[in-house]
Amino acid sequence: MGRYVLQRFIYMFVTLFLICTVTFFLMKLLPGSPLRNAEKLTPEQKQIIFHKYGLDKPVPVQYANYMKNLAKGDLGVSYKYDNRPVTDMIVGRIGPSAQLGAQALLLGTFMGLIFGIIAALKNNTIYDYSATVLAVIGISIPSFVFGAILQLYLAVKFPIFPVAYWESFAHTILPTIALSVFVTANVARFSRTELIEVMNSEYIVTAKAKGISKVGVIIKHALRNALIPVVTILGPMAVNLMTGTLVIENMYAVPGLGSQFVNSIVTNDYTVIMGTTIFYSALLLLVIFLVDILYGVIDPRIRLAGGNK
Amino acid sequence: MSNNTAKKIPSDLFQPAELDLMNAEKISRPSDSFWKDARRRFLKNKGAMLGFTILGILLIFVLFGPMMSGHKYDDQDLKRAKLPPKIGVLENVKFLPFDGVDQYGIDQYEKKKVTENFWFGTDDLGRDIFTRTWAGARVSILIGLLAATIDMLIGVTFGGISGFYGGRVDTIMQRFAEILMGIPYLIVVILFILIFKNPGILSIALAMVITGWVSMSRIVRGQMLKLKNQEFVLASRTLGATNASLIGKHLIPNIMGPIIVMMMFTIPSAIFAEAFLSFIGLGIAPPKASLGSLVSDGFKSLQTFPHMMIIPAIVISLLILSFNLIADGLRDALDPKMSK
């Protein structure tokens, strides 16, 4: 187990290093200038600005400097927002995004489990079919379509919830629902398949034969084993929630990391793009790493086979 | 019940059956090939058939839609801008939103003195949304198909070599794949799209392939490892088949099933990814449109002219849904063990 954890950790580190390197050199290839009013500046003025940001040095030196600072947690300063450190900008924006993500994950998992369990226990009935159909629809419709429809009907036409902005809990409800649809659908599909498989296994038949009540069998014997593999979809889930927040935060004017990232793309703010990319990648790699470890810990059968999906 | 009926039959009606050893094992019906069997399972799958029907209808419109209304996708005319949808016969049906009346109850066609009908309305530059939706769907489908095809070519080659040769080659290739696998897909796509200033269909599809092929290569490698030591491969090898003909004639045809299923799942996710890129302002450049860019443009005037977003949103949802349904059905049909 220790060796497995170490191996995973090294992979995570190598991948992150690679991402940082690729991101850095891709940013050097980007067209356009990060400077405001670039065409109005004289060559001397440009020279001064480039010198200030260390952009006049050869690219390998810039790369070495960037990586050195990165190791200290320093992601450079924004070109657009008056030299604000990128690290501060990310930390300052992470609250709403994290809250949205966590709420959507909780709501989605909860709803998904309910749908999945009902579908599995009433296998091949109308409940099962409708849950399956809903799940396929939930996976197919993009979150921004859900977001827009919710906004149009539940905020504009029937003003039950606020249209946008980030002020109270009521403001978080619509974006949370829009984000959670994909999670719900995925968890429902996955837990249904797992639970059906478990319910047909021999130890469940034994438990039933011993006279344990139906509820007892489901809660104590079936669910506990059926839910272990659901942990594996946490990784893809995190990726999806991240991409979801990019769009949904813009849609609902949430001052989160996602809307800042999209904004930095539009304004060519290189250091912010780079910093946020690296931050997102590190976060996702960490989630995948933790899921791998967690899976090995809670299900001893997988330990040696390795948690790679 | 059945016991009673059995007792009623007198025993003298029974005759000893003749034991014919020659014909006992005779195959009396034509045997089903794997593909025939899979086709039967696929045709029986209601979800897949529904997906197939939806996709068929959409494809007809995608092929002929842009020529049907007589407007080109980039014909601008501000005099007829922001018209709500109006369809000839359906305008008399009260509950359908095809009467040319906007949400404030004003007949925009009368007000703007437009005699022509725009079936899906027009956008803020007066471009016909019907034509743009189907032209956009063309772009979206093309991106999906291209991404899936390139994915398949790279993935099958990489996975095939890795699985077939095994040993050190496999180890090195798998380490490489594992690192690529760890890179978040959409982040790489965003970074590469940023480099192309005005991304076209090919560059968007290519950006999606950069890490997208890894999952295909993993499936091919897994199947390769399973198959390469089976008897029919060993027999062929004994008879002197070269590695190339072993891979091309024996192994790849046998893993066609999972490859097709994987491709079918790649298409909708590429369509979704393109829509996502459009939404954050990185998609196809105007005046060209994709379903994603139409939805994203329409979102800007969602509250005043909801039809501009809702129509392309419905089309893209149906498109992704139909591909997902077909892919699910194909997976169940080609690999019965994988389902349920």
Under 8 Å between Cβ of B162 and B228 = no
- Residues of B within 8 A of A247 (CB-CB) are 276, 279-280
- Residues of B within 8 A of A133 (CB-CB) are 47
> Of A230, A255, A280, which closes a domain?
A255
What is the pTM assigned to this prediction?
A: 0.84
A7 falls within a domain: yes
Least confident of A62-71, A173-182, B116-125, B138-147: B116-125
pLDDT in tens, B184-215: 777 788 888 888 767 788 888 888 888 888 88
Q: Which domain holds residue A11?
A: 1-26+269-309
- Look up residue B79 and give its DSSP letter: G
User: Same structural domain for residues A104 and A208?
Assistant: yes
User: Same structural domain for residues A177 and A210?
Assistant: yes
**Residue B52 touches chain A, beta carbons under 8 Å:** no
Cβ pairs A/B, distance under 8 A: 108
- Look up residue A308 and give its DSSP letter: -
Closest Cβ opposite residue A140 in set B191, B276, B320: B320
pLDDT surpassing 70 at residue B142: yes
Q: Which residue of A has its CA nearest to B294?
A: A145
pLDDT surpassing 80 at residue A53: no
Residue A16, C-beta contacts closer than 8 angstroms, at least 6 positions apart:
A278, A281, A282, A285
- Residues of B within 8 A of A136 (CB-CB) are 47, 321, 324-325, 328
Identify residue A209 by its one-letter amino acid code.
A
User: Same structural domain for residues A102 and A247?
Assistant: yes
A35 falls within a domain: no
Q: Which residue of B has its CA nearest to A145?
A: B313
What CATH code is carried by the domain that includes residue A141? 1.10.3720.10
pLDDT class for A34, splitting at 50, 70, 90?
Answer: low
User: Same structural domain for residues A185 and A278?
Assistant: no
- Residues of B within 8 A of A14 (CB-CB) are 179
User: Same structural domain for residues A285 and A251?
Assistant: no
User: Same structural domain for residues A140 and A245?
Assistant: yes
Under 8 Å between Cβ of B172 and B236 = no
Out of A30-39, A101-110, B82-91, B246-255, give the one with best mean pLDDT: A101-110
- Residues of B within 8 A of A271 (CB-CB) are none
CB contact under 8 A, B184 and A280: yes
User: Same structural domain for residues A133 and A241?
Assistant: yes
A42 falls within a domain: no
CB contact under 8 A, A19 and B183: yes
CA distance B183 to chain A (A): 7
Average pLDDT over residues B265-275: 89
CB contact under 8 A, A142 and B186: no
Cis peptide before B287 (omega within 30 of 0): yes
User: Same structural domain for residues A111 and A229?
Assistant: yes
Average pLDDT over residues B284-311: 82
Rounded to whole angstroms, the Cα distance separating A250 from A147 reads 11
User: Same structural domain for residues A235 and A101?
Assistant: yes
pLDDT surpassing 50 at residue B339: no
User: Same structural domain for residues A151 and A127?
Assistant: yes
A241 falls within a domain: yes
Number of domains in chain A: 2
Dihedral sign of CA atoms A289, A290, A292, A293 in order: positive
The complex's ipTM works out to 0.82
Average pLDDT over residues A292-296: 79
Out of A74-83, B104-113, B152-161, B202-211, give the one with best mean pLDDT: B152-161
Residue A309 is predicted with a pLDDT of 37
Q: What is the percent of chain B where pLDDT is above 90?
A: 14
A235 falls within a domain: yes
Residue B340 is predicted with a pLDDT of 40
**Residue B166 touches chain A, beta carbons under 8 Å:** no
CB contact under 8 A, A250 and B280: yes
Alpha carbon distance, N-terminus to C-terminus of chain B: 35
A115 falls within a domain: yes
A81 falls within a domain: no
A71 falls within a domain: no
Under 8 Å between Cβ of A283 and A272 = no
Rounded to whole angstroms, the Cα distance separating B146 from A245 reads 27
User: Same structural domain for residues A208 and A99?
Assistant: yes
Average pLDDT over residues A29-38: 68
Closest Cβ opposite residue B302 in set A133, A148, A308: A148
Rounded to whole angstroms, the Cα distance separating B253 from A125 reads 38
| Strand residue runs (E) in chain B | none
User: Same structural domain for residues A189 and A216?
Assistant: yes
CB contact under 8 A, A247 and B179: no
pLDDT in tens, A81-136: 777 888 888 888 888 998 999 999 999 999 999 999 899 888 888 988 888 888 98
pLDDT surpassing 50 at residue A308: no
Residue A146, C-beta contacts closer than 8 angstroms, at least 6 positions apart:
A177, A178, A181
Q: Which residue of A has its CA nearest to B186?
A: A243
